[in-house]
Amino acid sequence: MRFAADGVALVLELPEGSLPRVVHWGRDTGDLTDVDLTALGRVTSAPNAANGLDEPHRVAVLPEAWSGWTGTPGLAGHRLGRAWSPRFRPDQTASVVTTEGLGGSARVHATDVDAGLGLDLEIEMLPSGVVRLRAEVTNLEDAPYVVDGLHLALPVPGHADEVLDLAGRWAKERVPQRGPFRVGSHLREGRHGRTGADAVTVLLAGEAGFDFDRGEVWGLHVGFSGNHRSIAERVHTGERLLLGGELLLPGEVVLGGGESYVSPFVYASYGDGLDASAGRFHQLLRARESHPATPRPVVMNVWEAVYFDHELDTLRALADHAAEVGVERFVLDDGWFAGRRDDTAGLGDWSVSEAVWGGGRFGQLVEHVSALGMEFGLWFEPEMVSPDSDLAREHPEWMLQVPGRLPAPFRHQQVLDLTHDGAFRHVRDRMVALVREYGIRFVKWDHNRDLVDAGSTRTLRAGVHEQTLAAYRLMAEIRQACPELEIESCSSGGARVDLGILEHTDRVWASDCIDAHERQQIQRWTAQLLPPELVGSHVGAPEAHTTGRRLDLDFRAATALFGHFGIEWDLGAASQQERRELAAWIEFYKEHRELIHTGRVVRRSSEGGALWLHGAVAPDRTRALYSVTLLERPVTWPVARVRLAGLADDVVYRITPAGPALGEHTPDPKVLPAWWTPDGADLPGAVLSRVGVDVPALLPDHTALILVTRVDGTDDEAATERSGT
């Protein structure tokens, strides 16, 4: 069986009496007959040279120990020691749907009568070429069955010699790390109860030296916002697998008779180069019905402008400045609700603070913002509760805990157990009431602590699994009650960035660090999973609050440009000249956001990683916008020519300098290349992408923007003639 889409093929083997096995996942093989598929299975069956199994088996999508597999098992569980090694046998013909060139799906139902277990497997190739897997295990007996783990696997070939994933911490998320694909397990566990600032994001295996534009790569992502596991495993018999699934705490899932556990979706993307692999994830997300369909509005969040110091006149003045520079959405952050004068109290008491906002002042701020033509947004942290709050005092049993002790203090807050019906309804009803009363259009949904010792007083079990599902349900019910509301996933910055949370939200906050130098890397690698329109990217103050680094406005704005653009800066402290320059950048963003938010992302680096290219190329390749950023001083000077990736070879393009920082430049051979004029230069895409262009002599932490547009009159016939010459 072969599924194919967008140049990728997934070839499955459905052996009688065994679970599905992957024969090939990667570059499309072209059409295969049944005879071809049989022959492919034979030529990809390794000889039995390891002094092992008499009849070796290809590893199944759900690896099973009975087959001789000694790596990570697909299903780990037991009935007080029994049924610990199931053997599933499909009990009916697989349900297979294929759509020529757009992928397809296979659904397999299997049982192990002796173990008393049922299994349903879903294997899909989506039109983007992304493979999506999910499994459901059902207890067919009355006796309880403990699920310890459920992992799904895809093989990668022997020339996938390197592994790349991401690490990080608060305010420095998504730091790439790579190394050889060694024998053993490269195991990345997320035990934060949320995705984690150190999350692997996408676990990649590829050819040695793979880069953004070259080398086959295979990537896996676990689409879940709680504990999870990502594994790159190479065993002594030669198999190399990427596996993923939820990380279940001891006793967290115990199935009664007839009950089921459904794994999160595991997503997998193949590409020739990191950009191609990332592009499939972007295509998948952009094809969703729930994907934002309107232009992404310019956001102003007031957190770094005022912190907890909320005062009506100050915020009205900030709103005036925001409207003046072109902001379209004004967001009031933490500190607006009862008892919340700092971060030690008040979470859970979701009512407007009378001490700060009494006398109708909160409504006056909302009306002022709306009168300026901006949407009003508000910060919540719905899954958390302060021990110093009315809610915690009234319902101490609503805090996740091991009976008899609260979890270790973390940001002066605990986790509200949303599996308690009363807690769930309290948050849902308060949020819905506030959204409706004040016409709130946007919620910054924060999540500021790890789920440590996260037990339920309701079940006395570990509660991360159920809490994660309850959080999804809470978001879904609020969105259903308030269909025009947009939600941002923020979690101490970028600690909840995954495809599970994005089923319920409209963007993520990539990091609490908006230092543009740091953000270059954070956004560059967030793009391995998410397209820019889903990633909040703001212009901060001249001196970054998290690092103390001082950067000029043009660099800060050019960095924020390639995301969902916003501001996190006290504009009252900015000069009139700074506000004028910011307004020009906002106008530039509005002019080009459609291109940035629908275009194909391209990334390159040169000069030993000192010079970075980032670009957005229109789907029809008629336009492109590139940023060229110097992050460090290179060994030689000036830098080498930059090749503009992603353009059509036979189309003539005009390249011009771009951005508000351009001004009226007179070419200075010490700083600017000869073409760096408003007229630019006209060249075929083949020249721009293979020969490249010289760029300005940038100082570190500075960016130049290049706009590329198809020259009028260039058509396919002319392109063909040019190609012929």
Q: Amino acid identity, residue 716?
A: D
Residue 605, strand partner residues = 612
**Residue 155 token pair:** 């093989």
Find out whether 517 and 546 touch, Cβ atoms under 8 Å: no
The residue behind tokens 């969902």 is 564
Main-chain phi, psi angles of 721, to 5 degrees: -65, -45
By the 10 Å C-beta count (0-12 exposed, 13-18 middle, 19+ buried), 229 is classed as: buried
- How far apart CA 447 and CA 425 sit, in angstroms, is 18
- How far apart CA 495 and CA 511 sit, in angstroms, is 8
Find out whether 524 and 612 touch, Cβ atoms under 8 Å: yes
Q: Amino acid identity, residue 304?
A: E
Q: Which DSSP letter does residue 666 get?
A: P
Rg (CA), the chain: 27
Strand ranges across the sheet with 8-13: 2-5, 8-13, 21-27
In the three-class reduction of DSSP (H, G, I as helix; E, B as strand; rest coil), residue 620 is classed as coil
105: left (phi over 0), alpha (psi -120 to 50) or beta: beta
In the three-class reduction of DSSP (H, G, I as helix; E, B as strand; rest coil), residue 11 is classed as strand
Q: 512, 515, 554, 701: which one is catalytic?
A: 512
Residue 693, strand partner residues = 642
Cα Dmax for the chain: 82
**Residue 369 token pair:** 């913002």
Cα angle 102, 105, 110 (rounded to 5 degrees) comes to 170
Cα dihedral 428, 434, 436, 438, rounded to 10, equals -160
Find out whether 20 and 94 touch, Cβ atoms under 8 Å: yes
The residue behind tokens 């600017």 is 672
Q: Amino acid identity, residue 248?
A: L
Q: 417, 446, 498, 515: which one is catalytic?
A: 446
Cα dihedral 590, 593, 594, 597, rounded to 10, equals -160
Neighbours of 141 (CB within 10 A): 15
Q: How would you classify the pairing of strands 681-684 and 652-658?
A: antiparallel
Cα dihedral 625, 626, 627, 630, rounded to 10, equals -170
**Residue 189 token pair:** 């566990």
409: left (phi over 0), alpha (psi -120 to 50) or beta: beta
Per-residue burial over 495-512, b = 16 or more CB atoms within 10 Å of its CB, e = otherwise: bbbbbbbbebbbbbbbbb
Axis crossing angle, helix 361-371 with helix 421-438, rounded to the nearest 10: 50
- How far apart CA 37 and CA 44 sit, in angstroms, is 11
- Would you call the peptide bond into 638 cis, given omega within 30 degrees of 0 as the criterion? yes
Is position 570 annotated as part of the catalytic site? no
- How far apart CA 375 and CA 297 sit, in angstroms, is 9
Is position 446 annotated as part of the catalytic site? yes
Strand ranges across the sheet with 184-190: 152-155, 240-246, 228-234, 184-190
Per-residue burial over 144-156, b = 16 or more CB atoms within 10 Å of its CB, e = otherwise: ebbbbbbbbbbbb
Question: Whats the size of the chain, residue-wise?
Answer: 725
- How far apart CA 330 and CA 442 sit, in angstroms, is 9
Hey, which residues are catalytic here? 446, 512
